[in-house]
């Protein structure tokens, strides 16, 4: 369908930039609707003068100042009357970089059903207080749209699909003032309208002043509260649409992805820096609840794990749904700790078991070491503390790119970190050579041993884990054998307000003789599984494998009847 786009310029007091803006828009052959939002007679006269100098500029006058929202809606109605299907909204104070208009229009033509909105990159002219305000709004919007996706809703530089936008604002008690920009996005999202974003430059012009008043903060808070109630009312529908959108059938952990991982971390990072741990946890609760309610696979995995733990005597009472929710919350808290660790917000005094540190031991041995850990508690705490203090170089092997995204976060907040994340899906000669060199230089190579390989599930050993066989990767043990160096186990869990590091010797050198290789690997894997079980029992809710750990997709269990007997199984 071909779409007809015009521009809407709500104008109150700002007239200095108006002529320049209109000239630019007309050069792009856009019809312009200027909304005079109840300006004084003087300003209105000036507006009239400016507009009459151009062709294709329509002036709509509101007798009373109604605020930006009211002005934009008025402009939208006018646009529909004139036969337009879409409207570009530009602030008349000149803070939007009009160079992006062409790109925005192109995006709108490509996605006629979506709202296209600018995602601002601020230059240094932005007042600092407003950036904090932006964070709060981001968090609220995320909650109110029940989506971990952050949409910058405060940028009034966008292309509206007119029919949907008017329908969304119809009958709603809309914010007439600055809250409008946010509210309309939330309401469009509620209607299932997609939002496309485009990075734009935003400048706060020197001579001009923004119409944002402190008293409006109150209005904005009221708006968030109103939207929150609206969200609760609509939540069944919103959750339903999200369930439709996510394919919940895949159960291999690598395919599950991190639901909202990166953005979630960024929200937390901001909240943590602004408000600290307790407030961040409280803020996170509705978000965690949302993931708990919609993450069927993860929820089921949590239940399964807790049930097995209980049967194996690891829990006093039989776990119910609430225990699973606490399991989820504990995951959220761990994400906070990760961030706290990296930004130096966990003092070394709050960590037990630091000495003798793995780094001291490794250092005194004169050569590097291979360290096996797991998705239990927060190994990041160890890495962060040790590397920030000792400047030891640590290489962390990760299976997928998601830790690489976490890297970006670390880099942003703690430059000079000596941790290198190496993505490995398969260890080839390349990786082995890099790691051999690292070990020779006295560096530490860290890998998790509790996840099975992404590709090809053949290199797996089944080992007894909480009473029944679970598959464990052979890869870390094989790699250790090739690196020919000492191997340690390292875990860090949180007890109350304190973290505790567990560091123990695993093997001087993993040796896999050619003749009995499979059996030798089996022995190492079983030892790892047994130690892991021991540590998981210390902090069960800090076990962060939210997928079907015992029966992952695409992997045949060696023998199914083994569930009840506790003797360990040999690989087939």
Q: Are 386 and 466 in contact (CB under 8 A)?
A: no
User: What's the min distance (Å) between Cβ of 436 and another protein?
Assistant: 7
How far is Cα 491 from Cα 6, in angstroms, rounded to an integer?
60
How far is Cα 216 from Cα 91, in angstroms, rounded to an integer?
18
Distance from first CA to last CA of the chain, Å, rounded?
60
- Name the β-bridge partners of 91: none
Per DSSP bridges, beta strands 394-398 and 419-423 are parallel
3-state SS class at 188: helix
Q: Who contacts 5 (Cβ-Cβ below 8 Å, separation ≥6)?
A: 30, 84, 85, 86, 87, 88, 105, 108, 159
Q: Who contacts 571 (Cβ-Cβ below 8 Å, separation ≥6)?
A: 460, 461, 462, 518, 522, 558
User: What's the min distance (Å) between Cβ of 441 and another protein?
Assistant: 16
User: What's the min distance (Å) between Cβ of 332 and another protein?
Assistant: 37
User: What's the min distance (Å) between Cβ of 506 and another protein?
Assistant: 19
Residue among 294, 209, 308, 199 nearest 256 (CA): 294
Q: What is the DSSP letter of 350?
A: G
Please list the alpha-helical segments (H only) found in 191-314: 215-245, 253-256, 261-275, 277-294, 296-311
User: What's the min distance (Å) between Cβ of 570 and another protein?
Assistant: 18
Q: Which is nearer to another protein, 250 or 436 (CB)?
A: 436
User: What's the min distance (Å) between Cβ of 428 and another protein?
Assistant: 3
Separation in Å, CA 290 to CA 2, 74, 242, 263: 38, 36, 11, 15
Phi, psi of 527 (to 5 degrees): -65, -40
Q: Which is nearer to another protein, 73 or 479 (CB)?
A: 479
User: What's the min distance (Å) between Cβ of 437 and another protein?
Assistant: 10
Paired tokens of 137: 């709004």
Q: Which is nearer to another protein, 433 or 530 (CB)?
A: 433
Q: Which is nearer to another protein, 191 or 517 (CB)?
A: 517
Q: Which is nearer to another protein, 115 or 422 (CB)?
A: 422
How far is Cα 338 from Cα 343, in angstroms, rounded to an integer?
9
Binding site for another protein (CB under 8 A): 426-430, 432-433, 436, 478, 481-482, 512, 514, 517
User: What's the min distance (Å) between Cβ of 440 and another protein?
Assistant: 12
User: What's the min distance (Å) between Cβ of 446 and another protein?
Assistant: 20
How far is Cα 229 from Cα 169, in angstroms, rounded to an integer?
16
User: What's the min distance (Å) between Cβ of 461 and another protein?
Assistant: 14
Q: Which is nearer to another protein, 394 or 510 (CB)?
A: 510
C-beta neighbour count of 495 within 10 angstroms: 12
Q: Which is nearer to another protein, 119 or 459 (CB)?
A: 459
Q: Can you say how many angstroms the Cα of residue 486 is from the centroid of all Cα atoms in its chain?
A: 36
DSSP track, 282-321: HHHHHHHHHHHHH-HHHHHHHHHHHHHHHHTT--SS---H
Task: Give the DSSP H or E segment for 480.
Answer: helix 475-483
User: What's the min distance (Å) between Cβ of 511 and another protein?
Assistant: 11
Paired tokens of 415: 């430059």
Q: Are 180 and 174 in contact (CB under 8 A)?
A: yes
C-beta neighbour count of 223 within 10 angstroms: 25
User: What's the min distance (Å) between Cβ of 426 and another protein?
Assistant: 5
Q: Which is nearer to another protein, 396 or 512 (CB)?
A: 512
Q: Which is nearer to another protein, 55 or 430 (CB)?
A: 430
Q: Which is nearer to another protein, 88 or 478 (CB)?
A: 478
Q: Are 543 and 305 in contact (CB under 8 A)?
A: yes
Q: Are 188 and 142 in contact (CB under 8 A)?
A: no
Q: Which is nearer to another protein, 65 or 425 (CB)?
A: 425
Q: Which is nearer to another protein, 210 or 436 (CB)?
A: 436
């Amino acid at each position: 369908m071909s779409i007809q786009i015009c521009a809407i310029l709500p104008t109150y007091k700002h007239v200095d930039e108006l002529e320049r803006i209109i000239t630019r828009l007309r050069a792009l052959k856009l019809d312009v609707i200027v909304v005079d939002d109840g300006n004084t007679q003087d300003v209105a006269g000036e507006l009239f003068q400016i507009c009459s100098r151009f062709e294709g500029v329509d002036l709509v006058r509101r007798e009373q100042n109604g605020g930006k929202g009211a002005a934009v809606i008025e402009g939208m109605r006018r646009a529909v009357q004139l036969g337009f299907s879409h409207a570009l909204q530009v602030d008349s104070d000149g803070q939007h970089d009009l160079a992006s208009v062409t790109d925005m229009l192109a995006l709108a033509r490509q996605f006629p059903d979506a709202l296209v909105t600018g995602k601002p990159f601020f230059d240094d002219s932005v007042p600092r207080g407003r950036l904090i305000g932006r964070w709060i709004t981001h968090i609220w919007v995320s909650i109110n749209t029940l989506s971990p996706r952050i949409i910058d809703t405060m940028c009034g530089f966008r292309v509206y699909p007119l029919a949907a936008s008017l329908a969304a604002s119809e009958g709603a008690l809309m914010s007439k003032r600055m809250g409008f920009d946010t509210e309309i996005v939330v309401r469009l999202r509620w209607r299932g309208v997609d939002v496309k974003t485009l990075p734009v430059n935003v400048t706060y012009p020197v001579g001009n002043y923004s119409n944002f008043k402190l008293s409006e903060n109150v209005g904005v808070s009221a708006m968030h509260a109103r939207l929150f109630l609206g969200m609760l009312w609509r939540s069944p529908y919103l959750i339903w649409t999200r369930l439709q959108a996510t394919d919940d059938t895949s159960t291999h952990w690598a395919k599950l992805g991190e639901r909202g991982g990166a953005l979630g971390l960024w929200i937390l990072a901001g909240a943590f820096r602004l408000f600290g741990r307790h407030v961040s946890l409280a803020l996170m609760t509705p978000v965690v609840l949302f993931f708990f309610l919609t993450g069927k696979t993860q929820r089921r995995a949590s239940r399964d794990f807790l049930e097995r733990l209980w049967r194996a005597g690891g829990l006093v009472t039989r776990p119910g749904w609430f225990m699973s929710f606490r399991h989820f919350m504990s995951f959220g808290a761990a994400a906070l700790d990760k961030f706290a660790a990296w930004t130096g917000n966990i003092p070394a005094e709050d960590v037990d078991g630091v000495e003798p540190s793995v780094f001291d031991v490794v250092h005194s041995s004169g050569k590097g070491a291979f360290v096996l850990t797991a998705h239990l508690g927060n190994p990041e705490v160890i890495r962060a503390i040790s590397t920030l203090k000792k400047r030891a170089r640590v290489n962390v092997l990760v299976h997928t790119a998601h830790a690489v995204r976490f890297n970006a976060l670390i880099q942003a907040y703690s430059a000079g970190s000596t941790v290198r994340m190496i993505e490995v899906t398969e260890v080839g000669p390349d990786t082995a050579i890099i790691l051999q060199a690292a070990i020779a230089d006295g560096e530490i190579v860290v890998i998790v041993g509790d996840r099975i390989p992404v590709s090809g599930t053949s290199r797996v050993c089944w080992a007894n884990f909480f009473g029944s066989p679970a598959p464990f990767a052979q890869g870390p043990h094989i790699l250790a054998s090739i690196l020919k160096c000492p191997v340690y186990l390292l875990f860090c869990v949180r007890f109350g307000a304190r973290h505790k590091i567990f560091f123990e010797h695993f093997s001087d050198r993993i040796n896999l003789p050619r003749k009995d290789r499979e059996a030798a690997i089996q022995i190492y894997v079983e030892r790892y599984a047994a130690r892991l079980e021991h540590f998981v029992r210390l902090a069960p809710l800090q076990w962060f494998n939210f997928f079907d750990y015992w029966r992952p997709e695409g992997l045949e269990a060696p023998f199914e009847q083994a569930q009840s007997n506790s003797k360990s199984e040999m690989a087939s």
